[in-house]
A and B are shown apart, each in its own frame.
Chain A
Amino acid sequence: MSESTKVVIVPCSGIGKTYGTVSREAAYEVIEDLCPETSQMVALSMLVLGDVNARAAVANSTAITIDGCKLACATKMVQESGGHVAQEFAVLDVYRRNRKLKPKGIAELNEGGQQLAHALAEEVSAVIDDLQGEEDA
């Protein structure tokens, strides 16, 4: 699959924030393990900086955003970059659905945080599968 047809994942760039770390861990699991052939990640910071390649990737592909807080920077930045957000995820919403998985830690997530990231990654990968199914139909 060419890079331009892969679903773009844009996680939160909140460094030093537990929920931001959960969003990035989930994004890495999606692109590296769950959907390596059908997804790619674009760093939010590159969009903020106006990087030409990052903006082109977003503008030419379907995007899934993962926000760490209600400011929803990832979603807003993809939209401002001309991208189409097929699905927005918020870490807090996923935590509300998985209350036992309380995330802690920043550089290194606790067990709950790692499991929450995994649960989030599975939700994201399910959306990617749906999007790919629609494209193939």
Chain B
Amino acid sequence: MTDYLEYTLDKFTFKVATDCSYTPEGVWAKADGGQVIVGVSDFFQQRNGDVAFAEVWEVGTTVSVDDEFANIETIKVDVELPCPVSGKITAVNETLELEAEVINQDPYGAGWIVMIEAADWATDQAKLMTPEVYYEHMKVQAQEEAES
């Protein structure tokens, strides 16, 4: 069972899953067997609003760290997601095609976006934020958002 770090600001509570590594933009990655599962954080989905559409690159696409691997269109913005890991996309969450809102409903679970066969997960993971570091980063972003 996943544990979470939680931060409450005003009426909002943001969860950070402790079994994931993060990019500063709020893309998470975690190893699962021989694959790395990738999605977006709870803060990312709350900050950007209801997801209307998710366009995800096809299975078989080779990606490098920071390459775009998906485009998320929400009621507020269009966001290009940077890939947290290099490798080949081996699976795309098919639920997103018809029910993209699952990203809002369950960002760390059913709302996962792609699975990637990583070329060198250990090296890529070392460059990502730990949950604790991302938690502090997210708190600053949330506070800035609240003050803007």
Measured CB to CB, the residues of A under 8 A from B are 17-19, 69-70, 92, 95-96, 99
Contacts and interface: CB of A to CB of B under 8 A. Distances in A.
B55 to A, nearest CB: 11
Nearest to B104: A70
The dominant DSSP class at the B interface is loop
B53 A69 contact: no
Contacts of B75: 17-19, 69, 92
B49 interface: yes
Contacts, number: 16
A69 B48 CA distance: 12
A50 B53 CA distance: 37
A44 B110 CA distance: 34
Contacts of B49: 69
Interface string B112-127: 0000000000000000
B68 interface: no
A96 B101 CA distance: 11
Nearest to A103: B75
A95 B104 contact: no
B52 A69 contact: no
B25 interface: no
A92 B75 CA distance: 7
A92 B52 contact: yes
A99 B75 CA distance: 12
Contacts of A17: 75
Nearest to A95: B52
A99 B104 contact: no
Contacts of B19: none
B53 A70 contact: no
Q: Which 6 A-B pairs have the closest CB atoms?
A: A19-B75, A92-B50, A70-B50, A95-B52, A69-B50, A92-B52
Nearest to A96: B52
B53 A96 contact: yes
Nearest to B73: A102
Interface in B24-81: 49-50, 52-53, 75
A110 to B, nearest CB: 14
